[in-house]
Amino acid sequence: MIKVVLNGKKYKVERGDRISAFVQNKQYIAALMNNVLSDLNSPINEAATIETIDFTHEAGRQIYWHSASHIMAMAVKELFPDVKLAIGPAIDHGFYYDFDTKTPFSPADLEKIEQKMREIVKKNIPFEKIIMKKNAVQEFFSRRQETYKLELLKDIEDQEIRLYRNNEFVDLCRGPHVPSTGYIHAFKLLSVAGAYWRGDVSQPMLSRIYGIAFPTTDQLTEYLKNIEEAKQRDHRKLGSELELFSIFEEAGPGLVFWHPKGALIKRLIERYWIQIHEEAGYLLVSTPHIARGHLWHQSGHYDFYRDNMFILPIEDEEYILKPMNCPGHILIFKSKVRSYRDLPLKFAELGQVYRNELSGTLQGLLRVRGITIDDGHIFCQPDQIEEEIVHVLELTLKMLHKFGFDDFKISLSVRDPKTPEKYLGSDEEWERAEKGLVAALKSKNLEYVREEGEAVFYGPKIDIKLLDALGREWQATTIQFDFNLPKRFAIEYRDKDGQHKEVVAIHRAILGSIERFMGCLIEHYKGAFPLWLAPIQVAIMPITNKQNAYAKRLHTRCARHGLRAELDARSEKINYRIREAEVNKIPYVLVVGKREADKKTVSVRKHGKGDLGEMNIKKFFDLLKKEQGGGN
């Protein structure tokens, strides 16, 4: 007998007993056995602490969705035996599987696959883990002509390979999985897309089927409802309808052209960004879009980032369109000897950078090749770290609240303590940096998730993801230590004793990419921007041309109050013009007829709420002033 603690309760079990024998609740789908994710069918061979997990656990969702992808692949192979299997992982929301098929899947095919999946689920077929020698697995997939599985097998160094079997269906997989197909209850296949094998354009194009699954029908219904809402909020759709931006094929993918309304919103964001940074003690700098190649060799970007850089031959040497702003800020810092009295020194720039992203990864404003980064670099002494991180967090919270974001997910990425040799910097530097990040987060009472092994090689970092109106995550703020560039560029300051000391360098971007942040804003507000960001804040509409003179005077008064107003005196009927303003998501419409002109009032309509009634002009201006927090 061996001792086991299962969900806090102590048991004595026979060696080889399976976890499932002691788990009666069908909501549990897997387990953490001594902190290792395991199938519920796993045997207990040693004393263990076991915690069962369900769909509410992040790992539980990944297991659930990965199991659903296997069921989908089973259905596809039964319906289309000649299709070859590639990969089928769980993703952030749901799962997909890539298939090599001569004819792409149609919507009718998805319905057939869904029906076959229901049959497989109803049969409640067990997920069975099997271990085979590598050469036997190679022979097995060779007989089945599963060329992609054979290619994946080449990358696995282990000589014993884990697979999962459901009757005749066998897949190369580390697992774990739910106990049987009957555990997957409510699911839906969402779409089909093309995807290059391993993301390489020189490789075959595969058919990728996306899907989602939940333990209950209500959860699936709610998710599908949110999917439909997300389609209505799609920034690409709204960007076109509201004439905010375009990406022209003639100019090239991933390059954004801002129309007047979009450019105005972008300028308002940048104006606010500049104002609040100057108030926070940052010095604004501006660096060239292009620099000599040797600068990027010195920074290390050339060796590690070359495939993502645009390289130009100029006068027998290479120049590079800058992929980031860091080296430029460092050159400015190094342009003179800096004293400890100068620190902290904070540079900031809305810098345009260029990255050669694969065309298949580009997505509207969310992934582009021409990027505006709201970059900042803080050069400080070691004893200033915590205070400066606190200042960055305060600046971040103030800015994000201004744009209407109050919910965040925060992660602290640190090095893997098991492999410190993979990271630059001394133990002392890492401990000092991590301590500063943690202390700053705690001082602002911010909850965070610690993620070991997620730090980049040159320093720990804080990432803040915004949660939008649908609860979706958007990457925004990054606060990143750098133990690499200070050494590569010998960034130093002179301390009070006249000694040269290495500067602590902190990168930080609050909004991240302005393009991606704009995409986030569009979808968060569904294109109906808050008053201070709306490109047109007020539309003034005389009912007939007899009120045009009064409407023009109103337009002038709006301009004097700093409002962006539009006079719509077209001959179309008033209801048509009001509907058009509603479609264009203009916050306020002022309707003026004979009565309003005679009484010197306005009839006010608000987007999404309708008629607010008749009011005098002062009351209307007070209403807008209050909505904007006292300013424009």
Q: What is the 3-state secondary structure (H, E, C) of 187-247?
A: EEEEEEEEEEHHHCCCCCEEEEEEEEEECCHHHHHHHHHHHHHHHHHCHHHHHHHCCCEEC
Distance CA 52, CA 44 (A): 14
pLDDT over threshold 50, residue 632: no
Is the pLDDT at 28 greater than 70? The verdict is: yes
Q: Report the C-alpha gap between 343 and 493 in whole angstroms.
A: 9
Residue 43 confidence (pLDDT): 93
Give the integer Cα–Cα distance in Å for 64 and 74: 15
- Give the H/E segment covering residue 60: helix 58-79
Residue 414 pLDDT > 80, yes or no? yes
The yes-or-no verdict on residue 170 having pLDDT over 60 is: yes
Q: d(Cα 448, Cα 440) in Å, to the nearest integer?
A: 11
pLDDT of res. 427: 85
Mean pLDDT of 591-604: 96
pLDDT value at 243 more than 50: yes
Report the 10 Å Cβ neighbour count for 626: 9
How far is 198 from 206, CA to CA, in rounded Å? 10
Same fold, 2-53 and 245-525: no
Q: Which two tokens stand for residue 513?
A: 């990419």
With vertex at residue 231, the alpha carbon angle to CA 229 and CA 232, rounded to the nearest 5 degrees, is 65
pLDDT of 401: 95
What is the SS3 string spanning 589-602?
EEEECHHHHHHCEE
- How far CA 280 is from CA of 274, 284, 541, 593, 598, in Å, comes to 10, 11, 42, 48, 50
Count other Cβ atoms within 10 Å, centred on residue 55: 21
pLDDT of residue 461: 93
Name the pTM for this structure: 0.83
Q: Is the pLDDT of residue 456 over 60?
A: yes
Half-sphere exposure of residue 449: CA atoms within 13 angstroms, side-chain side: 11
| Whether 555 contacts 542, CB under 8 Å | no
What DSSP assignment string belongs to 617-632? HHHHHHHHHHHTTT--
State whether the Cα torsion 243-249-252-254 is positive or negative. positive
Note whether 594 and 547 are within 8 A (CB).
Answer: yes
SS3 534: coil
What single letter denotes the amino acid at residue 127? F
- Rounded Cα distance between 27 and 60, Å, is 10
Cis before 215? omega within 30: no
CA atoms within 13 A on the CB side of 259: 13
- Whether domain 538-627 has CATH 3.40.50.800: the reply is yes
Q: Is the peptide bond before 253 cis (omega within 30 degrees of 0)?
A: no
pLDDT of residue 450: 92
Q: Directed axis angle between helix 385-402 and helix 427-443, to 10°?
A: 40
The predicted-structure confidence for 110-143, as pLDDT tens digits, reads as follows 999 999 999 999 999 999 999 999 999 999 999 9
Asked if 19 contacts 42 with a C-beta cutoff of 8 angstroms, the reply is: yes
CA distance 76 to 211: 13
The pLDDT score that the predictor gives to residue 631 is 41
DSSP 8-state secondary structure symbol assigned to residue 575: H
Q: What is the mean pLDDT of residues 451-472?
A: 88
Q: Is the pLDDT of residue 201 over 90?
A: no
Question: How large a percentage of the chain has pLDDT more than 90?
Answer: 85
Query: Both tokens of residue 268?
Result: 């308002």
The two three-digit tokens of residue 180, written as one number: 């049987």
The rounded distance, in Å, linking the Cα atoms of 176 and 519 is 36
Architecture of the domain defined by 58-226: 2-Layer Sandwich (3.30)
Say which CATH class 2-53 falls into.
alpha beta
Given the candidates 3.40.1180.10, 3.40.50.1820, 3.50.50.60, 3.30.930.10, the CATH classification of the domain at 245-525 is 3.30.930.10
How far is 456 from 229, CA to CA, in rounded Å?
Answer: 36
User: What are 447-453's contacts with CB under 8 Å, separation 24+?
Assistant: 447/410, 448/410, 448/411, 448/412, 449/409, 449/410, 449/411, 449/412, 450/411, 450/412, 450/414, 451/411, 451/412, 451/413, 451/414, 452/414, 452/415, 452/416, 452/417, 453/414, 453/415, 453/416, 453/419
Distances (CA, A) of 617 to 530, 533, 553, 590, 593: 21, 22, 11, 10, 14
Q: What is the mean pLDDT of residues 317-338?
A: 95
Summarize the confidence of residues 289-304 as an average pLDDT: 91
Q: Give me the residue spans of the domains in the chain.
A: 2-53, 58-226, 245-525, 538-627
CA distance 301 to 308: 10
Tell me which of 54-63, 289-298, 302-311 is least confident.
302-311
66's enclosing H/E stretch is: helix 58-79
Q: What is the pLDDT of residue 293?
A: 93
Tell me the average pLDDT of the chain: 94
Q: Beta strand pairing status for 588-592 and 500-502?
A: unpaired
Q: Over 60: is that where the pLDDT of 630 sits?
A: no
**Two tokens, residue 631:** 């300013």
- The token pair that represents 246 in the structure block: 């375009």
